C-alpha cells in the first residue's frame, strides 16, 4: 500500500537534499534504492547501468530480509534486454509493470508514442506478458516487477543527445499491484537521479581534467622547463600515466642525423628478425600505420569506432605514409587478434604484452617519430548473473541467476577515450620537445664543427709561424757563419723541433757525382730482392745529427751497405721523397729491416739534398715512433 502523501513528499525532499549535499553518485544511488524500497514495500530495488555493448550491471541494490538473492555487482548480457526494448526505454521513456501470476504487463510511456494522441502519455495500458519475459522473472523468483528508464543528457558533449543510462527496477516475490500514483512518485525520484548523474559526470570530468592537466604539467616540465630536455624521464612518466608496462620513443632520422634514436623503458619486445631493426622501421609497421590512418580507424580491432578525418602525407622516410599530428593514435587491445601485426608476434612471444598504443609525432608538417605504449595482459574477472556462452546468442531464458565467474588472463586493459586524449596531449609536447632537441643538436654540431675548424686553422697558422721562425733562424745562421757543420747542425735541430720527431740526421754519400737523388712514399714497397745490394760508390755516412731522448747515435755508423738499396737510390734520383710509416709493415729487405730495428728506428722520412745538379746526401728523421 502507498504510504501517506506526507511520506511521499518527505521522500522527494530527502532524495533532493541528498543530491544537493553530495556529489558522489554511488552514495546517492544507495540512498535512492533504500528509500524507494521502503516506500513501495517491495523485496528488492536496484539500479541497473548499461554499458557500451548493450549489456549492463547492477551497481546499487536494497533487499528486504534476504527475500530475494542479491544481484549487486553481477553483469547481464545484451540479449537479456533486446535492442528494441532499449529503444523504447529511450525514445518514449517506456515504464513497465509486470504481474507474473496474472500474466499481464502494464506499459506507460512518459512521452507519447503517437504525437497525435497525447492522451496516451502516462496512462498504464495492460496486455498479456510475453512468455519469455514471464519465465525470466520466475527464474529470478520474482512475481511482480516495475521498471523505469533512467535517461541521461550529456550537456558537455559536442553533439549532445539523450542517452539510456540505466534502469530503476523493483522486484517483489509475491504479486503486488502498483498504482498510477506510485509510478508518478517513483518517476519523480528517477528524474532527480538523472540530475544527480549529470552532476556526477561533471564532477568526474572535472576530476579527470584536473588529473590530465597535472600529468601534462609534469611531462611538460621535464620536456620544457629544465635546463636540459629530459626525454627519458618524460617517457617513463607517460608510461605510468597511461597505465602501461613499457614504452618507446622513436626519433626518426633527419638530414643532420641519419641514424634513428630510440628511448625505451619497461617491458620491450625483441628486435625484429635477424635484421636487428627497430619495430618502427619494419615495412609491416609502416604499412599498418599508413592503412590505419587512411581508414580513419581509432581502434584497429573495431572498424565501427569513431573516425579520424585526418588525411595522410608522405614523410621523410622512404615509401612510408604517416598521419598528421592531429590524428588519433592507433590502439590495439590484443596483438594476437590483429592480423595486420601477426609478423610481430614472435617479437612479443617472450613477453606478456598484449596492448599497443602508437601515436605518430609531428611538428607542423615535419614527421618526427612515434610514441608507443605497451600494456601487458592482466587477469580480467567478470561476474555474471548465471552461466552463458558469450559467443552464442541466447535462444531461451536463463534458468538460473547464480553468480558465474568468467576469468580472462590473456587480454590487456582496454584503451579508452581518455587514454586517447591524454596520449594526443602528451604527444604534442613530445613533438615540440623533439623539434627543440633536434635544433639543439644541430646547433651543437655546428658549434663543434666550427670549433674544430678554428682549432685546425689555428694549428696550421701556428705551424706556419713556427716554420717561418725556424727558416729564419736557419737563414740567419747561414748568413752569420761560413762553417758548414755549424749550419747543418742548426738545420737538423730546427727541423727536429718543427716536426717534433726523435731524431734528424744528414747522410752524405761518398760519391756525389750521380746528380740529385730521392725516393717516393709508397714506392719503397715495389723494390725487388735483386735491387737490395748497394755498390761501393753509393756508400756514405751520417755527418750531422740532432737527438731528442736517449737513443743510439748514428754518428758512429760510418759506411753502410745496408741502409739504401739500389732501387731506392734510383727513386731518389728521380727526386722522390721516401716515407716509411711502420718498419714492421713496410716491404723492406731483410738487411734493411734488421738494420733499422737494430738502431730502434720504427718510422722514417727521407728527403734528398742536392747542390746544383749534383746530389750531396739525404736529410732524414729517425726514432722509435717515427723517422
Q: Nearest 5 degrees, angle CA 225-CA 227-CA 233?
A: 70
Reported as a single tens digit per residue, the pLDDT across 292-312 is: 765 544 444 433 333 333 333
Question: What's the average model confidence in pLDDT over 438-447?
Answer: 77
* pLDDT at residue 273 in the model: 57
275 vs 106, residue with greater confidence: 106
Most confident among 385-389, 429-433, 532-536, 610-614 (mean pLDDT): 429-433
Q: Is 225 exposed, middle or buried (0-12, 13-18, 19+ CB in 10 A)?
A: exposed
Q: What is the DSSP string of 598-619?
A: HTT--EEEEEEEEETTEEEEEE
210 vs 474, residue with greater confidence: 210
Q: Nearest 5 degrees, angle CA 333-CA 335-CA 338?
A: 95
Out of 23-37, 170-184, 221-235, 588-602, least confident range: 588-602
308 vs 354, residue with greater confidence: 354
pLDDT at 374 over 90: yes
Question: What's the average model confidence in pLDDT over 143-172?
Answer: 87
Reported as a single tens digit per residue, the pLDDT across 61-72 is: 999 999 999 999
Reported as a single tens digit per residue, the pLDDT across 192-249 is: 899 889 888 888 889 989 999 999 999 999 998 777 889 999 999 999 999 999 999 9
Asked whether the beta carbons of 10 and 39 are under 8 A apart, the reply is: no
Q: Domains in the chain, ordered, with CATH?
A: 5-205 (3.30.450.40), 226-377+412-440 (3.30.450.40), 499-623 (3.30.450.40)
Alpha-carbon span 545 to 627, nearest angstrom: 13
Distance of CA 520 to the CA centre of its chain: 58
3-state class of 108 per DSSP? Answer: strand
Q: Is 541 exposed, middle or buried (0-12, 13-18, 19+ CB in 10 A)?
A: middle
Distance of CA 443 to the CA centre of its chain: 25
Alpha-carbon span 123 to 189, nearest angstrom: 18
The grid cell for 465 is 709561424
Nearest in space to 32 (alpha carbons), one of 43, 51, 16, 21: 16
pLDDT at 515 over 50: no
The grid cell for 570 is 734510383
pLDDT at 12 over 60: yes
Alpha-carbon span 224 to 607, nearest angstrom: 61
pLDDT band with cut points at 50, 70 and 90 for residue 158 = low
Question: What's the average model confidence in pLDDT over 482-486?
Answer: 82
Reported as a single tens digit per residue, the pLDDT across 338-351 is: 899 988 988 898 89
Consecutive H or E run containing 478: helix 417-480
Grid cell 500514483 is found at 181
Neighbours of 113 (CB within 10 A): 13
Alpha-carbon span 201 to 208, nearest angstrom: 10
The grid cell for 523 is 714506392
Q: Rounded to 5, what percent of the chain is helix, strand, coil?
A: 40, 25, 35
* pLDDT at residue 559 in the model: 52
45 vs 589, residue with greater confidence: 45
Share of the chain above pLDDT 90, in %: 36
283 vs 311, residue with greater confidence: 283
Asked whether the beta carbons of 248 and 262 are under 8 A apart, the reply is: yes
Most confident among 101-115, 192-206, 496-510, 552-566 (mean pLDDT): 192-206
pLDDT at 155 over 70: no
Q: What is the DSSP string of 535-585?
A: -GGG-EEEEEEEE-SS---STT--S-SSSS-HHHHHHHHTTPPEEES-TTT
pLDDT band with cut points at 50, 70 and 90 for residue 447 = confident
Out of 208-217, 327-336, 375-384, 502-511, least confident range: 502-511
* pLDDT at residue 384 in the model: 93
pLDDT band with cut points at 50, 70 and 90 for residue 323 = very low
Grid cell 610481430 is found at 344
pLDDT at 506 over 50: yes
Amino acid at each position: 500500500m502507498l504510504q501517506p502523501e506526507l511520506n511521499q513528499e518527505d521522500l522527494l525532499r530527502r532524495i533532493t537534499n541528498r543530491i544537493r549535499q553530495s556529489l558522489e553518485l554511488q552514495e546517492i544511488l544507495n540512498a535512492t534504492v533504500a528509500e524507494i524500497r521502503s516506500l513501495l514495500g517491495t523485496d528488492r530495488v536496484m539500479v541497473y547501468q548499461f554499458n557500451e555493448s548493450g549489456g549492463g550491471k547492477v551497481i546499487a541494490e536494497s533487499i528486504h530480509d534476504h527475500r530475494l538473492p542479491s544481484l549487486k555487482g553481477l553483469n547481464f548480457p545484451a540479449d537479456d534486454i533486446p535492442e528494441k526494448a532499449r529503444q523504447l526505454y529511450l525514445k518514449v521513456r517506456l515504464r513497465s509493470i509486470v504481474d507474473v501470476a496474472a500474466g499481464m504487463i502494464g506499459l506507460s510511456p512518459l512521452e507519447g508514442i503517437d504525437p497525435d494522441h497525447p492522451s496516451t502519455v502516462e496512462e498504464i495500458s495492460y496486455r498479456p506478458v510475453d512468455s519469455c519475459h514471464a519465465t525470466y522473472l520466475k527464474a529470478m523468483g520474482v512475481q511482480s516487477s516495475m521498471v523505469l528508464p533512467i535517461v541521461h543528457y550529456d550537456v558537455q558533449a559536442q553533439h549532445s543527445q539523450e542517452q539510456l543510462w540505466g534502469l530503476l527496477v523493483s522486484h517483489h516475490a509475491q504479486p503486488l499491484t502498483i498504482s498510477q500514483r506510485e509510478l508518478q512518485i517513483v518517476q519523480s525520484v528517477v528524474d532527480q537521479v538523472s540530475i544527480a548523474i549529470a552532476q556526477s559526470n561533471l564532477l568526474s570530468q572535472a576530476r579527470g581534467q584536473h588529473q590530465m592537466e597535472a600529468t601534462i604539467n609534469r611531462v611538460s616540465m621535464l620536456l620544457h622547463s629544465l635546463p636540459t630536455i629530459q626525454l627519458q624521464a618524460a617517457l617513463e612518466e607517460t608510461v605510468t600515466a597511461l597505465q602501461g608496462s613499457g614504452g618507446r620513443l622513436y626519433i626518426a632520422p633527419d638530414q643532420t642525423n641519419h641514424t634513428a634514436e630510440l628511448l625505451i623503458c619497461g617491458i620491450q619486445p625483441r628486435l625484429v628478425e635477424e635484421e636487428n631493426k627497430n619495430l618502427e622501421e619494419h615495412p609491416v609497421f609502416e604499412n599498418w600505420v599508413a592503412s590505419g590512418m587512411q581508414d580513419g580507424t581509432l581502434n584497429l580491432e573495431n572498424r565501427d569506432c569513431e573516425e579520424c578525418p585526418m588525411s595522410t602525407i608522405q614523410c621523410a622516410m622512404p615509401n612510408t605514409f604517416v598521419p598528421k599530428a592531429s590524428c588519433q593514435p592507433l590502439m590495439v587491445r590484443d596483438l594476437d587478434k590483429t592480423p595486420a601485426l601477426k609478423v610481430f608476434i614472435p617479437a612479443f612471444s617472450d613477453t606478456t604484452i598484449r596492448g599497443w598504443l602508437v601515436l605518430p609525432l609531428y611538428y607542423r608538417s615535419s614527421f618526427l617519430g612515434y610514441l608507443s605504449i605497451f600494456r601487458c595482459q592482466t587477469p580480467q574477472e567478470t561476474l555474471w548473473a548465471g552461466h552463458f556462452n558469450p559467443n552464442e546468442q541466447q535462444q531461451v531464458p536463463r534458468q538460473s541467476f547464480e553468480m558465474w565467474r568468467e576469468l580472462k588472463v590473456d587480454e590487456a586493459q582496454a584503451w579508452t577515450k581518455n587514454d586517447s586524449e591524454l596520449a594526443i596531449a602528451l604527444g604534442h609536447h613530445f613533438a615540440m620537445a623533439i623539434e627543440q632537441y633536434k635544433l639543439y643538436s644541430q646547433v651543437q654540431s655546428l658549434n663543434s664543427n666550427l670549433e674544430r675548424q678554428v682549432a685546425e686553422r689555428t694549428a696550421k697558422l701556428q705551424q706556419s709561424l713556427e716554420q717561418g721562425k725556424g727558416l729564419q733562424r736557419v737563414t740567419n745562421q747561414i748568413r752569420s757563419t761560413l762553417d758548414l757543420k755549424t749550419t747543418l747542425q742548426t738545420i737538423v735541430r730546427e727541423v727536429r723541433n718543427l716536426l717534433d720527431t726523435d731524431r734528424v740526421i744528414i747522410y752524405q754519400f761518398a760519391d756525389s757525382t750521380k746528380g740529385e737523388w730521392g725516393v717516393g712514399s709508397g714506392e719503397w714497397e715495389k723494390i725487388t730482392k735483386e735491387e737490395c745490394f748497394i755498390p761501393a760508390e753509393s756508400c756514405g755516412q751520417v755527418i750531422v745529427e740532432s737527438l731528442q731522448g736517449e737513443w743510439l747515435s748514428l754518428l758512429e755508423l760510418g759506411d753502410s751497405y745496408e741502409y739504401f738499396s739500389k732501387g731506392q737510390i734510383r727513386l731518389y734520383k728521380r727526386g722522390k721523397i721516401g716515407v716509411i710509416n711502420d718498419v714492421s709493415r713496410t716491404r723492406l729487405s731483410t738487411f734493411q729491416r734488421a738494420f733499422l730495428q737494430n738502431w730502434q728506428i720504427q718510422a722514417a722520412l727521407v728527403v734528398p739534398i742536392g747542390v746544383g745538379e749534383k746530389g750531396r746526401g739525404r736529410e732524414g728523421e729517425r726514432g722509435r715512433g717515427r723517422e
